[in-house]
Structure 1
C-alpha cells in the first residue's frame, strides 16, 4: 500500500463479453473504518444475464455471511462459467492515500476521492473494450449531483445513482462482494511496513472506531513522536484526537521567527494562518538568501 492506486482486474475483465451490451455496477467497502484501505469495485455482466446473476446468490455484502461472500468471490475468480457471467475490477485506496488526500491544504474530501475511484473504474472498463450501456452506482453524497457528474463524463450511457443500489441491482451486489472480500483479506493479512508496532493479543479488530480491539490498538500503537503506523487513517477524528492528547506538541520554527504564537497541535501546519493566506509562506532560509522559484528555463 502506498500513495499510488492501481486498477486490479479479474481474468476476463478485458474485452469482456466480446462486444455484447453490458451493465456495470459500482460499490465500495471500508468507507467508515479508521484502519485499513477503502476498496472500490466495479462488476460487469451481459445485460440479458440478470437472472443468472441472481442465481449466483449475489446480494448486498452486508446481508451475506463471510462464508457465502467467500464462496461467491471464489467462483468469480476460478469458475470458468461464472467468469463469463461476471468480471470485476477494483481500486484499493490505502490509509496513507486517504489521509494525505484529506489533509491537503486544498481539501480533497472523501466524497471526491470516492467519485474519482468510481470514474477511474468506469473509464478502465471502456478502455478495455467493454460495451457498457448501463451503469448502476451506490451513491456517495447527493445522488442527483453525482449522477449529473457521471452523465456529463459518460454521455450516451444510461446511468442510475441511488441509495441501497447494492440491494436493488445484482450487478452492484457483485461489486459489493468483490470490494468487501478484498478489503477483509487485506486487513486480515496486513503486513506492517514499520517495525515494532504494538498489536494487542486479540489483534486490531475490524478497524471500525467502535470496535473494542480497534480502540485498544490505537491507544497501544501510537508513537509519541511519529504518531500512527501506515495502517491507520491519521486524518480520522478518532486518530487525530489521540495524537493531540498522546503525542509530543508540535513546534513550528516559522511561527517563532515571524513573531506569531506557537501552534501546539501536530496538525497545526495544515491550517491557514489567517483567512487571506491561501498557500504556505516561504521559509525564512529562502527569504534571507533572496532565493526564488525557477519558473522557466
Structure 2
C-alpha cells in the first residue's frame, strides 16, 4: 500500500541553470486596434513576453506618442518569446459584426503563437469562446499588464501603417491622418466622395450614405 508521501506529485525539476522563471506558465497578452473606425481593418495582436528580456516603457498604446510606439515596436518583435498579428478585413467585419470579428481575431491571434500560450489575458470584459487555452478578461489591461500593453502597441502600429498606405490607394479621405475614425474631416470627405471599398457598410454613417444611393 502506497503511503501519502508516495502518492504526492513530484516537485517540478529546475532547469540546468536553476532559473525558476523558466517553469512559469506562458501568458499571452491580447489586444486590438480599430474597433471604432468607419473604415479600414481591425487588427488584433497577441504577445508572450520573455521574462529574461524585459522591455521598458510598455503602456497602453493610446497613452504613448507615435514616435514612442514606433520605437517600442521592433523591441517587442525582437525580444518577445512569441507574437502574432491578425488583420480582419472590412468584409468580415460587415459579415460578422464588429464584436464577433474582434472575438474571432483574438482567438486566431492566440492560436497563431509559437510556442503556444498556457493562458491568455484579454484586454476588456469578454472572452472569445474558442480560445485554445484558459483566458482571463482584464478591463483596462492594456495599462496594467505588460504583455497586453505590448499587444496593444503591435496592433496599433500595424493598423496605423495599413491606414497610411491606404491613403495612396484611396486619396481624398484623409486616412493617413484620422486612421478611419469618424472625425469631422472624415465625415465631410465621406459625404463629398461617398464610401470607398474600405468603408464598413455595417456602420451607421456609411450605411446611411449607401441607403441614400451615394456609392463609391
TM-score when scaled to structure 2?
A: 0.78
Of 86-95 and 34-43, the range deviating more from structure 2 = 86-95
> Does residue 233 of the first structure (1) align with residue 200 of the second (2)?
yes
Corresponding residue SS for 1:218: helix
- Measure how far apart 1:36 and its partner are: 1.1
Give the structure 2 partner of residue 39 of structure 1.
43
- Measure how far apart 1:204 and its partner are: 6.5
Report the CA distance shift for 1:85/1:74 in structure 2 as closer, same or farther (over 3 A): closer
> Does residue 214 of the first structure (1) align with residue 186 of the second (2)?
yes
How far apart, in 2, do the equivalents of 1:19 and 1:111 lie?
35
For the pair shown, the structure with the greater C-alpha radius of gyration is: 1
Report the CA distance shift for 1:42/1:183 in structure 2 as closer, same or farther (over 3 A): same
- Measure how far apart 1:117 and its partner are: 1.2
Q: CA RMSD in A?
A: 2.8
Q: Pairwise mapping of residues 103-182 of structure 1 onto structure 2 (< 5 A)?
A: 108-125=96-113, 128=114, 130-139=115-124, 143=126, 146=127, 149=129, 153-154=131-132, 157=134, 159-182=135-158
Give the structure 2 partner of residue 254 of structure 1.
none
- Measure how far apart 1:67 and its partner are: 0.5
**Please, which runs of 5 or more residues in structure 1 have no aligned partner?**
1-17, 78-82, 102-107, 223-227, 249-297
**Please, which runs of 5 or more residues in structure 2 have no aligned partner?**
1-21
TM-score when scaled to structure 1?
A: 0.58
Q: Pairwise mapping of residues 214-293 of structure 1 onto structure 2 (< 5 A)?
A: 214-222=186-194, 228-247=195-214
- CA deviation profile, 1:222-275 (whole Å, cap 9, x unmatched): 1xxxxx321211111010112223438xxxxxxxxxxxxxxxxxxxxxxxxxxx
Give the structure 2 partner of residue 66 of structure 1.
66
Paired residues, number:
194
